[in-house]
Amino acid sequence: MNLIESAHQLNPDLNPNTPTVYILRLQSGNLYVGCTQNIFSRLSAHDKGTASRTTRLDRPIVVVWLEKHPSFTSARQRETQIKKWSRAKKEALIDVKVERLRLLSRCQSAHRLREALFQATSLPSDGSFASSQIHHSRSISHAMHSKVDFTRN
């Protein structure tokens, strides 16, 4: 089965001229995240090994996830967001495991908050404590008590 056929299995109503974000599973098992304005043309290029260096060296096996967008700009933003995610989070997206996505997002957000809190509460060697650091620590405190949006990175 080629990539276009696997894309049709995921979305039979796929329109070639719709901005689309996609994830390919490669022969190595790695995931490739991309976006395009013409999904059929791009998948054909991936099949031929002419779309990117990555898919030329590590050939794609199947399209595992697709998402249509109203504009190419929004597709690029989503592609950038997903590329920053961990492999576990991408796999949860592919498997449509919403609860796992939420948990992984909380873990990442909590890790960032702990790092920021540590930096904000570390006193400079001269003993001074800038007002910007006080404001920063209040922002962190507010963020720690607010809900985490799992759709954001």
Task: Write the pLDDT tens digit of every residue in 52-78.
Answer: 999 999 999 999 999 999 999 999 999
Q: Write down the pTM of the prediction.
A: 0.66
- Mark the ranges of the chain whose per-residue pLDDT is less than 70: 97-102, 106-153
Phi-psi region of 49 (alpha: psi -120 to 50; beta: other; left: phi over 0): left
Whole-angstrom distance, CA of residue 121 vs CA of residue 85: 28
Task: Return the pLDDT at 103.
Answer: 73
CA distances from 38 to 29, 45, 114 (A): 25, 11, 42
